[in-house]
Amino acid sequence: MPSDIDIARAADMQPIKRVAEKLDIPADAILEYGPYKGKVSYDYLRSIQNRPRGKLILVTAINPTPAGEGKTTTTVGLGDALNRIGKRTAICLREPSLGPCFGVKGGAAGGGHAQVVPMEDINLHFTGDFHAITSAHNLLAALIDNHIHWGNTLGFDTRRIAWKRVMDMNDRALREITIAQGGVANGFPREDGFDITVASEVMAIFCLATDLKDLEDRLAKIVVGYTREQEPITTGDLGAESPMAVLLRDALMPNIVQTLENNPAFIHGGPFANIAHGCNSVMATQSGLHLADYTVTEAGFGADLGAEKFFNIKCRKAGLQPNAAVIVATARALKMHGGVAKDQLGEENVAAIRAGCANLTRHIANVKGFGVPVVVAINRFTSDTDAELEEIRAQAETQGVRAVLCSHWADGSAGTQELAEHVVALADAGTDAFQPLYGDDMSLWDKARTVAQELYGAGDIDADSQVRARFQELQDQGYGNFPICMAKTQYSFSTDPTQMGAPSGHTVTIREVRVSAGAGFLVAVTGEILTMPGLPSHPAANDIYLDQNGWIQGLF
């Protein structure tokens, strides 16, 4: 089979305005960025905001393993298949981050015959949204240090600045730095650091904002530091939310591109799924719901993080009602959850599948617990045996859920048609009854405990006295109604990334709590969360180049 980029390049792309026509978006509502990328104008979005909403389908997954699951490809394949069976469908995905493209990961626009295109553009600068977010974030950082330089009338305690800088690059050397060295003209030296752009609270805000006004209001609430008396200082205190909103004005319009089968896809925003909520923008999801009968979207990492945050943070805040969920699994990944080593995955091992399905069945139960009907999508590999696939089906059946074979990577929408038909049946059955796991008024500590106990299978949560005091302090400061954003390893229900399957009774230790006051959630950090990746010894960058035609090669 040819490489992803070769398949993508061979695609018979349609002009983006013609793609938009499939959702009856008029040509003058599309701001083109080259012939194949567009943004949907604010004027048009306003004109459709009172339309009834279509059905919302979430694509999530088991805990990821090195064997891969294929969540993005399944999202694309499902969207294409829904279109194939005559359902007017929009796909909503996160924008890839530029940094990781040059590290290990390569591109993030699907794969095989289930991709969004133009894949090079989507993976690189796209329409500039991440650059705008980077600029807005760093303008705020510059204004903070500038304020301190010129007299610090707001009284920042420079040991307690809570706003780092960001760059959309994997650059470990910027994780911990000392800035403002070199004398009086350069300001007051202090320790600082860079996160990758997707870890910026501006990114989280961008993805939860419902319009420009809401965006600016949220930006104003960001806590950027504290006084000596530990009183918070916000973006609003600096008056920085307005120029930041100016920098984000164009970016907040949702991007529209197409799948290999010329179906419309909104790709917009991409916050981290650990310290943030890991879903594409509310602007994009709402656009889909107002324009299509079915909107298929994905959430980051496994369902313990991605789906949980999609439900408890995004759906809660945006008032969304998901109608069905797809949990993606592969036989290979389930074998790894069942204890098989990576180099043994090619051999049939039904017992390992059965053991590994403990991971799958807990995710199924969790998602059903939110009142959302579930189907399992088995992303098929040629090495999978019938007995293995039958075992997955049987295990899903124990939860009253169907598991459907999918081969979109090789076959495009033909490979996900059965999944699409089942999703339609589920979403149209009227059996969905979504509700978040906890109410706004539950205490912050109890919210974290509820997630850990009900979804992770934990015995309890724990924290040292300082962190517990911080929980209480935030409760007292008026953040008690915020949902909790758990920053946990993506690889396990526990906080130990090596614990695969479905561990139980473990303790989830919370090491730190951070306030994302603009985004409107508290981040409970468990384990080590790296917010600035590094490059490997042989970075993908070394294999990416322009060929003699000026075409990009080596981007996967």
Structure-block tokens of residue 237: 């205190």
With CB under 8 A as the contact rule, which of the stretches 180-188, 339-347, 488-496, 503-511 interacts with a second copy?
180-188
Backbone angles phi, psi at 121, to 5 degrees: -65, -45
> Is 68 annotated among the ligand-binding residues?
yes
Q: Binding of a second copy at residue 104 (CB under 8 A)?
A: no
- 229 annotated among ligand-binding-site residues: no
Query: Is 409 noted as a catalytic residue in this protein?
Result: yes
* Binding of a second copy by 162 (CB under 8 A): no
In the complex with a second copy, which residue's Cβ is closer, 90 or 252? 252
**Between 217 and 418, CB nearer to a second copy:** 217
Query: According to CB under 8 A, which residues from 322 to 361 bind a second copy?
Result: none
Q: Name the residue among 43, 20, 94, 95 with its Cα closest to residue 256.
A: 20
403-406 and 484-487 as β-strands: parallel, antiparallel, unpaired? unpaired
17 labeled part of a ligand binding site = no
Q: Which of 29, 55, 73, 220 does the annotation list as catalytic?
A: 73
Q: Which of 37, 84, 87, 94 is catalytic?
A: 94
CA-closest candidate to residue 470, choices 261, 252, 223, 230: 230
- Cβ atoms of residues 293 and 54 within 8 Å: yes
Tokens 């917010």 sit at which residue?
531
What span, in angstroms and rounded, lies between the C-alpha atoms of 169 and 97? 8
Tokens of 350: 């039904």
Size of the site for a second copy (CB under 8 A): 72
Q: How far is the CB of 181 from a second copy (least distance, A)?
A: 4
Residue 457 amino acid letter? G
**Toward a second copy, which CB reaches closer, 476 or 547?**
547
Q: How far apart are CA 104 and CA 109, in angstroms?
A: 15
CA angle, corner 431, sides to 425 and 437, nearest 5? Answer: 125
Binding status of residue 187 toward a second copy by CB under 8 A: yes
Which of the ranges 4-12, 53-61, 130-138, 451-459 carries the binding residues for a second copy, by CB under 8 A? Answer: 130-138
Pattern of binders to a second copy over 467-486, x per CB under 8 A?
--------------------
The one-letter code for the residue type at 293 is D
Active-site pick, 39, 55, 71, 335: 71
488 labelled binding-site residue: no
> What x/- string results for residues 250 through 289 when contact with a second copy is judged by CB under 8 A?
x---------------------------------------
Applying the rule CB under 8 A, the residues between 194 and 253 that interact with a second copy are 212, 216, 239-240, 242-243, 245-247, 249-250
| Residue 174: φ, ψ to 5° | -95, 0
Q: Is 402 a catalytic residue?
A: no
The verdict on 537 binding a second copy (CB under 8 A) reads: yes
User: Which tokens sit at 98?
Assistant: 């530029």
Residues 6+ apart with CB under 8 A from 433: 371
Asked if 126 is an active-site residue, the reply is no
Which of the ranges 334-342, 353-361, 368-376, 538-546 carries the binding residues for a second copy, by CB under 8 A?
A: 538-546
CA 287 from centre of chain: 17
Is 6 near a second copy (CB under 8 A)? no
**Quick check: helix, strand or coil at residue 324?**
strand
Residue 71 annotated in ligand binding: yes
Cβ proximity of 15 and 35 under 8 Å: yes
Question: CA torsion sign, 367 to 369 to 372 to 374?
Answer: positive
**Residue 273 is a catalytic residue:** yes
> Binding residue for a second copy (CB under 8 A) from 58, 109, 117, 132?
132
Task: For residue 67, say whether it is annotated as part of any ligand binding site.
Answer: yes
Element of type H or E holding 552: strand 552-553
In this complex, which beta carbon is closest to a second copy, that of residue 439 or of residue 536? 536
Interacting residue with a second copy among 135, 297, 312, 492 (CB under 8 A): 135
Considering beta carbons, is residue 12 or 538 the nearer one to a second copy?
538
Q: Which of 20, 58, 98, 196 binds a second copy (CB under 8 A)?
A: 98
516-538 in b/e burial notation, b at 16+ Cβ within 10 A?
Answer: bbbbbbbbbbbbebebbbebeee
Indicate the annotated binding residues for ATP. Answer: 65-72
